[in-house]
Amino acid sequence: MVQPSLCFLGGLLGLFLMAPVLMASTPASMCTPLKTLNDSLSHRRRYMKHNFPINYFIRVHHEEIFKLSNISKMKLKVDGLDELVLQRLWFQVNQGVLKKIIRVLPERHPSRPYTAELERRFRDAEGVFVQSHPPEVFQQELPETIQDIWDQLTEEPDRVPESSWRFASPKSLVDNLCHTMCCLFWECFSGTESSQDYCEVSHSKKGRKTQSPELETRPTEPAEW
Ligand SMILES: *[C@@H]1O[C@H](CO)[C@@H](O)[C@H](O)[C@H]1NC(C)=O
Ligand SMILES: *[C@@H]1O[C@H](CO)[C@@H](O)[C@H](O)[C@H]1NC(C)=O
């Protein structure tokens, strides 16, 4: 007698359990704009490094330094963290990063058109991301750790304490954007590789251990244009 309803309950439970798993994977429609973005990113050394003075740093929120190591730390800290939440955070962080890079570039700087294109392509990807998920997904409550980061990122700049700012080179910021993109949207980038390969911290540092990533402390004289 009790069998059918149990079955029903079980089915319902199954649905609930499966829903996040199904939504966690990257919709195939994301791959075209992300690959286009990836194409632009392949020129980042020239436009984000060579066109800038040596030791040129931009002031960013420390949460805008969003690296592969942050992703693995967050996964450890937040039990069952949904990939989709990290993808949302990736868009939130990097739209701020790109905006900050554009803001320091004068109208006629040689990297300006490149950066503007990067931002355009990033926005295209974001548009497809929003369209390819039901709107409820974006109203879902975030895990506390992630919500805290989100709140810091959207805080008014003059309410951010001095000690919370970091200085980072444009190249290191865009490198982070690129590496974390391949980790969080690995389905779009994998040939034979799995997410593990893209999210592995060492993946991005292959053969260039000597390069210093970004300055974690304040340089004495931040360059200005
Ligand atoms: C992404 O760009 C890199 C070059 O920076 C290239 O080697 C790689 O094949 C690209 N991946 C895809 C899936 O387009
Ligand atoms: C990433 O980790 C660094 C410290 O290693 C921290 O300052 C930064 O806020 C973290 N970024 C995010 C998005 O949590």
Closest ligand to residue 44's CA: 1
Q: How many CB atoms lie within 10 A of CB 52?
A: 22
Q: What's residue 219's pLDDT?
A: 44
Atom 3 of ligand 1: nearest residue by CA position:
42
Q: What's residue 26's pLDDT?
A: 86
Q: What's residue 116's pLDDT?
A: 97
Closest ligand to residue 41's CA: 1
Contacts for 225 with CB less than 8 Å, ≥ 6 apart: 104, 105, 106, 109
Tokens standing for residue 96:
């701020």
Q: What's residue 57's pLDDT?
A: 96
Strand pairing class (165-168; 58-61) = antiparallel
Atom 2 of ligand 2: nearest residue by CA position:
70
Q: Is 112 exposed, middle or buried (0-12, 13-18, 19+ CB in 10 A)?
A: middle
Phi and psi angles of residue 110, each rounded to the nearest 5 degrees, phi first: -60, -20
Helix-helix angle 31-41:170-184, to 10 degrees: 150
What pLDDT digit, counting tens, does each position of 41-94 carry?
999 999 999 999 999 999 999 999 999 999 999 999 999 999 999 999 999 999
Q: What's residue 197's pLDDT?
A: 81
- Residues with CB under 6 Å of ligand 2 are 62-63, 65-66, 70, 93, 149
* In the chain, where the domains are located: 27-205
| Domain covering 27-205 assigned CATH 3.40.109.10 in the classification | no
CA distance 37 to 114: 11
**Which residues partner with 165 through β-bridges?**
61
pLDDT band of residue 22 (cuts 50, 70, 90) is very low
Q: How many CB atoms lie within 10 A of CB 189?
A: 18
Q: What's residue 193's pLDDT?
A: 64
Ligand 1 centre to CA of 190 (Å) is: 10
Ligand 1 centre to CA of 5 (Å) is: 51
Global confidence as pTM:
0.81
**Whether the predicted pLDDT of 158 surpasses 60:** yes
Residue owning tokens 């701020």: 96
- Residues with CB under 6 Å of ligand 1 are 35, 38, 41-42, 189
Ligand 2 centre to CA of 13 (Å) is: 36
Which atom of ligand 1 is least distant from the CA of 39? 2
CA distance 223 to 203: 31
User: Please, what is the average pLDDT of the chain?
Assistant: 84
